[in-house]
């Protein structure tokens, strides 16, 4: 018997507790009645017209976001991966920036850009054309779909670009030599090979849209409609209907689980040996006269997700009135002073940093441990463990929060009101991301080095500490940063779990939004972006070196 076995078993048990306990309570509460189990809450949820409408709105939103993300992400992935598009690194860098921008900040920026009357783009449009109506209206379903899409398409992009880069060109060339037209090659050779990636990118985008809270709260509520997430949050209003919130969470949970299973199937039966990793040249297709228009199109999309929103946030942060031109007497540092002098902002920044660092440390450690155990098949049932580690992907933040709320507001574990409950939420939410990253890391560390250590008489833990960990170090630090970025932007779970002492930056931003304090929101938003990009920079540097090192 392996001496280190208890360590692995303990880690596995912690995981089960982390996952199974809240979901168990969620189910229990949703069925809870005065006298025994009842389906009354479910009946209420599905017969209430307003709740059904929210459910339908979410379906509409998710579907169109999925489709629109595909329409933007797929061509961009193809351009970046397979053509001689100018500035591919710049494009990828900007897509990464869209990927890490908190969607609720983007939504907030777009209120200032495309509010039908005061929005700056609409003002510009009206002054240029003399038109009466607005060019864009960000409040409402189309606006919501647009804003969510520009921060969701990177999921599709990454999925498809990665696949395209693995397909060698020779298959396509063979088809071309056999006389197939370009279109035919694309449709009958390339497309089938990337189809799983396309579908699974679509599903990822849909999942994102289903789980979002901030963007619908900022763009849908003013237009007078709810999505499932905002509705669940509204059910906590006094007098709270926690049972109904729990019951209303279950369809969302089932939908995400279903979609994820579907995605796994799609990726699982890849079946085309061509996409096998190494080998094969990839030739870039010359775009010819289309090079610049293609670049312009890509930059146009990125202007929507990065340039315009960041510019308007910067303006709002340093202007007295964001809707007025930025003249000398409209410039001010008062917003900055006001934001940071406020007591609740300061403690929120500290809370966010504390939670970010703590979750990143524990998360990266746990993810590394689990990835190691699973990769090296150290305990029986390691596959089940892998499933459990990845399972939280299927739990939208709001649902996780409801589950944690009902679990930890009652004895024996009274954690509501402490940072611990937020820590648990973040850890659960970020574990899949961390695991995926660590898994890739450990796959890159060959077991034979460890075996050498074992043969020389070192125990498994010593080998882990002295051989594996140093080799996996930059991968683990990258995991740390991914988790950190995920934590500092988290809103959908925090908004239900916070108490005044445990506010985080995203919650303060949301509070300020409800009061219409645009300047302060912009200041805090930029601060949050600064922290995010600092973390991104660390990842880039580390992994960049890794790539170079690997090729030598």
List interacting residues with other proteins (CB under 8 A): 50, 115-119, 139, 220-226, 230, 234, 236-240, 320-323, 332-334, 336-338, 340-344, 409-410, 414, 416-417, 499-501, 511-512, 514-518
Query: Burial level of 471, CB count in 10 A (0-12/13-18/19+)?
Result: middle
Minimum CB distance to other proteins, residue 104 (Å): 15
SS3 call for 338: helix
Q: What DSSP assignment string belongs to 280-321?
A: S--PPBP-GGGHHHHHHHHHHHHIIIIIHHHHHHHHHHTBSS
**CB atoms near residue 329 (< 10 Å):** 7
Minimum CB distance to other proteins, residue 304 (Å): 20
Please give the C-alpha separations between residue 465 and each of 360, 365, 372, in angstroms, as whole numbers. 19, 12, 12
**Nearest-angstrom CA–CA distance, 506 and 262:** 32
Minimum CB distance to other proteins, residue 129 (Å): 18
Q: Which is nearer to other proteins, 12 or 523 (CB)?
A: 523
Structure tokens, 444:
């890159």
Structure tokens, 509:
């931003």
**Nearest-angstrom CA–CA distance, 513 and 520:** 9
**Nearest-angstrom CA–CA distance, 346 and 508:** 10
Q: Which is nearer to other proteins, 231 or 532 (CB)?
A: 231
Minimum CB distance to other proteins, residue 226 (Å): 5
Q: Which is nearer to other proteins, 47 or 237 (CB)?
A: 237
Do you find a cis peptide bond into 529, omega within 30 degrees of 0?
no
Q: Which is nearer to other proteins, 115 or 397 (CB)?
A: 115
Q: Which is nearer to other proteins, 4 or 44 (CB)?
A: 44
Q: Which is nearer to other proteins, 159 or 496 (CB)?
A: 496
Minimum CB distance to other proteins, residue 113 (Å): 12
Minimum CB distance to other proteins, residue 111 (Å): 8
Q: Which is nearer to other proteins, 322 or 480 (CB)?
A: 322
Minimum CB distance to other proteins, residue 231 (Å): 9
Structure tokens, 350:
């500290």
**Nearest-angstrom CA–CA distance, 82 and 169:** 9
- 159: nearest Cα among 200, 108, 103, 106: 200
């Amino acid at each position: 018997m392996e001496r280190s076995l208890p360590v692995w078993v303990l880690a596995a048990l912690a995981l089960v507790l982390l996952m199974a306990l809240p979901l168990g309570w969620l189910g229990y509460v949703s069925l809870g009645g005065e006298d025994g189990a009842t389906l009354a809450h479910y009946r209420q949820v599905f017969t209430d017209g307003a709740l059904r409408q929210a459910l339908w709105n979410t379906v509409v939103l998710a579907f169109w976001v999925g489709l629109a993300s595909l329409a933007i992400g797929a061509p961009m992935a193809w351009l970046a991966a397979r053509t001689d598009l100018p500035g591919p690194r710049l494009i990828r860098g900007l897509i990464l920036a869209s990927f890490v921008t908190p969607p609720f900040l983007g939504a907030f920026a777009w209120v200032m850009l495309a509010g039908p009357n005061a929005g700056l783009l609409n003002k510009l449009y009206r002054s240029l054309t003399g038109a009466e109506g607005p060019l864009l209206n960000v409040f409402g379903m189309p606006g919501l779909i647009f804003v969510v899409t520009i921060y969701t398409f990177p999921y599709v992009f990454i999925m498809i670009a990665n696949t395209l880069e693995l397909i060698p060109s020779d298959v396509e060339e063979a088809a071309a030599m056999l006389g197939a037209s370009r279109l035919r090659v694309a449709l009958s050779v390339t497309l089938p090979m990337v189809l799983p990636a396309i579908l699974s990118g679509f599903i990822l985008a849909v999942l994102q849209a289903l789980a979002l809270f901030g963007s619908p709260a900022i763009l849908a509520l003013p237009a007078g409609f709810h999505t499932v997430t905002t509705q669940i949050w509204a059910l906590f209003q006094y007098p709270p209907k926690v049972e109904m919130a729990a019951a209303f969470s279950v369809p969302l949970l089932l939908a995400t689980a279903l979609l994820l299973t579907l995605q796994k199937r799609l990726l699982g039966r890849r079946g085309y040996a061509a996409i096998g990793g190494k080998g094969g040249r990839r030739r870039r297709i010359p775009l010819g006269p289309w090079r610049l228009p293609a670049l312009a199109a890509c930059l146009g999309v990125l202007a929507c997700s990065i340039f315009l929103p960041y510019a308007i946030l910067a303006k709002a942060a340093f202007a007295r009135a964001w809707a007025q031109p930025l003249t000398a007497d409209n410039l001010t540092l008062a917003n900055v002073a006001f934001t940071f002098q406020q007591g609740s902002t300061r403690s929120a920044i500290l809370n966010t940093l504390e939670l970010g660092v703590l979750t990143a440390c524990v998360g990266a450690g746990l993810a590394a441990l689990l990835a190691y155990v699973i990769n090296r098949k150290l305990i029986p049932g390691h596959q089940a463990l892998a499933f459990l580690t990845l399972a939280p992907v299927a739990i939208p933040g709001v649902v996780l929060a409801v589950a944690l709320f009902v679990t930890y507001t009652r004895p024996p574990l009274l954690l509501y009101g402490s940072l611990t409950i937020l820590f648990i939420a973040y850890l659960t939410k970020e574990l899949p991301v961390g695991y995926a990253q660590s898994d890739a890391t450990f796959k890159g560390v060959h077991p034979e080095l460890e075996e050498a250590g074992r043969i020389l008489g070192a125990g498994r833990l010593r080998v882990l500490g002295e051989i594996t960990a140093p080799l996996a170090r930059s991968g683990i630090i990258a995991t740390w940063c991914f988790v950190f970025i995920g934590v500092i932007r988290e809103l959908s779970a925090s908004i239900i779990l916070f108490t005044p002492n445990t506010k985080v930056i995203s919650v303060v931003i949301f509070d300020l939004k409800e009061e219409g304090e645009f300047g302060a929101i912009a200041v805090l938003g930029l601060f949050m972006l600064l922290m995010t990009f600092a973390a991104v920079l660390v990842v880039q540097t580390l992994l960049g070196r890794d790539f170079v090192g690997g090729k030598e």
